[in-house]
Amino acid sequence: MSTYVMSDFHGRHDFFMRMLEKIDFSENDTLYILGDVADRGPDGIKTFMYIMDKPNIVYLVGNHDLFLTDAYKRSLLVSDSESFYATREWMIWYYNGGLTTWSEFVKLDRTERRRIVSYIANAYVVIPNLKVGDRYFYLCHATHLDRYVDTPLKYNELSLKEREHVVWDRVYPRWYSKEFADRDYSELYIKYPKNTKMIFGHTPTALFTDPAPDGRCRIWHGGHGHLIDIDCGCAVRESRYAMLGCLRLDDLKEFYVHG
């Protein structure tokens, strides 16, 4: 029985399924997905359809997944497709790679569309104090809340400002380091167990460190051991460099599937 975490599939359902096979994922294991299931790649909807009915897969919402729900809600308020494609919601989503997701989404019947939208709207945004063995983890898509919480919180339990913060902002201080001892966040971090590691996606690890010699990114560990970025770049432009990373929380072993 193992606990895994992945993030930022961006429509690469093929990578996702290969990874499940690689880690020999079973109903006795638990998988946390840290958002951005959709967009850019071709099969984000297929992944949603796969994970929604799996009780041992826990999904946290990402900013790209919210593009889908925002566009869907707007589509219900306009009279025709031409009006919809002129809306702000569609233009933002299209600019960020939403065309492939929308093309598959509209093929679903209304019941399945609503089911996906409801699944996203009722997803978690942060899971603090997740204990696996003797380690504590704080799971989120982009960053942590600016206030202390000790229980998992869902998207609909936060204010709009907090929702946008945890799925968009890139706040990556070095937890418990002297460098941040006098910063505002130090009082927040000290409330969590000292060995807490924040695991997030959203930011490709290439922004923290150079890719490996093969040109592909790997999981990044930083912040004096308190930060782990697992977005290894499923959505890179050159598909041969695309990489999905998976971290087993029991022993911090890394797994990879690439293009």
Instruction: Quickly tell me which residue has 């566009």 as its tokens.
Output: 71
Q: How far apart are CA 90 and CA 99, in angstroms?
A: 9
pLDDT tens by residue, the chain, 259 residues: 999 999 999 999 999 999 999 999 999 999 999 999 999 999 999 999 999 999 999 999 999 999 999 999 999 999 888 999 999 999 999 999 999 999 999 999 999 999 999 999 999 999 999 999 999 999 999 999 999 999 999 999 999 999 999 999 998 765 445 555 446 677 888 899 988 999 999 999 999 999 999 999 999 998 888 899 999 999 898 999 999 999 999 999 999 999 8
**CATH architecture of the domain formed by 3-258:** 4-Layer Sandwich (3.60)
Task: Give the residue extent of every domain in the chain.
Answer: 3-258
Question: How high is the pLDDT of residue 183?
Answer: 62
- The separation between CA 205 and the C-alpha centre of its own chain, rounded to angstroms, equals 13
- Among 163, 150, 152, smallest CA distance to 124 is for 152
Q: How far apart are CA 140 and CA 60, in angstroms?
A: 7
What pTM was estimated for this model as a whole?
0.94
- 259 contact partners, CB below 8 Å, separation of at least 6: 15, 239, 240, 241, 242, 243
Question: What's the length of the chain?
Answer: 259
Q: How far apart are CA 190 and CA 176, in angstroms?
A: 7
